[in-house]
Amino acid sequence: MQVPRFEPFPALRYAPGQPLDQVVAPPYDVLSISDVEELGRRHPHNIVHVDVPLESQGPGRYETAAETLAAWRLHGVVRTDPQPSFTLYRMSFTDEAGRPRNTVGVLGALEVVDEGAGGVLPHERTTPKAKSDRLDLTRATDCNLSPVWGLSLAGGLTDLLRAPGESLGSTLDAHGVTHTVERIAEPERCAAITARVASAPVVIADGHHRYAISRTWRDEVRAATGRRDTGAELTLTYLGELVADQLNVAAIHRMYRQVSPAALHSVLERSFHLADAGPVSRETLVEMERRGALCLVDTEGHGSWLHPRPEAFTGVRDLDSARLEHALAGLDHEVLYQHGVDEVLGAVREPGVTAAVLIRPVSITEIQRTAHEGLLMPPKSTFFTPKLLTGLVVRPVHR
């Protein structure tokens, strides 16, 4: 069985004295242009100055990002650890049900494997992304700036991570989540983590595109150097154990365009019983769980329960995303993805949107079954939260 390599590395970190709450940022793919501009104004050393080059900065924006990072290193804004280490990453938060949660994972360098090679497995089918932004940024900076999120099937990994490491600080984000990082540099503990991760496959939960870009970058470095022992053979990854108390999974809802309301209703009625749900709000999600239903949302924010007809889904997996994909097969339409009920209610009123469908989160049991059976979920089936911050750890890719 192919097993994943997971190794410590000399991390690039903000130097002591840099205000973490002012210099870290949410992941690039959840930031709007105005978000990036606001974060950039917050502090001259905020990570977005490197991690999110804007098109408005012109064709040399990736080289500018690399020059910025090089200047930070020269002036001691960021420093490279003297020895390889893993980084414990803890998150403390209150989930949507009001329960206090504490999770822990580990940041390290995960092997980049060929598609289908085993050891590191995809979690869901991915939607194509034509932009080369992440690849261009990696080429310019020679760094992994934001981590892939992986789920380890290695039992007992969480137990290895519970003991504290060397404290490197914490920060509270805009969503009330406390992010804490701790360094582990002891060779014996690092070796134990490496060995435990290597005992079972890793499933990519979030960051499929980043992992694919790492594969392209690895192949470029191989072609340029003729070597297979450079830092490009691995990529920055956060690993958590695939168990219920270490995961918080939300749904990614569906929005539909380029289809008439009548056509969408007609096709859905073949597979679902429809019933009036009244005005949609955050409480709708709770009622969906109680009823075992999805919810169709019109452009006025009014809902209709979608109760699956059992006979319509024989042989279809127990996933709302799979049910919708099956029910709408053959219907000409365009699907967009959006998390958060408030965000859906805003987006559904935009021109060109026909309707939205709220779906329920995928259960941990189904995620585990998918991983162990080597299956793939439909695109955008899961939304893992809270999101990891960028800037707490950067991995230089030594070639």
Give the Å distances, CA to CA, from 358 to 131, 239, 262.
28, 29, 19
CA distance 39 to 52: 11
> CATH code for 252-360?
3.30.1760
Pairing of strands 383-384, 249-250: antiparallel
pLDDT (0 to 100) of residue 347:
94
Give the pLDDT means over successive 10-residue stretches in the chain (399 positions): 88 96 95 95 98 92 98 98 97 85 97 89 66 91 96 95 97 95 98 97 90 95 96 98 91 95 97 98 93 97 97 93 95 93 94 96 83 79 90 91
- Boundaries of CATH 3.30.1760 in the chain? 252-360
Q: Name the pTM for this structure.
A: 0.86
Rg (CA), the chain: 22
Measure the CA–CA gap between 237 and 216, rounded to whole angstroms. Answer: 16
Half-sphere exposure (Cβ direction) of 195: Cα atoms closer than 13 Å: 7
Quote the tokens at residue 181.
């990082």
pLDDT at residue 371, as a whole number: 77
Which pLDDT score is estimated for 358? 97
Distance of CA 6 to the CA centre of its chain: 19
- The span from the CA of 45 to the CA of 127, in Å, is 33
> What distance lies between CA 254 and its chain's CA centroid?
18
Tokens of 212: 């694919």
Give residue 372's pLDDT: 75
Q: What is the Cα–Cα distance from 157 to 240, expressed in whole angstroms?
A: 8
Residues counted in the chain: 399
Task: Assign residue 45 a region (left: φ > 0; alpha: ψ between -120 and 50; beta: otherwise).
Answer: alpha
Q: Are 196 and 160 in contact (CB under 8 A)?
A: yes
| Assigned token pair, 31 | 């930031």
SS3 call for 358: strand
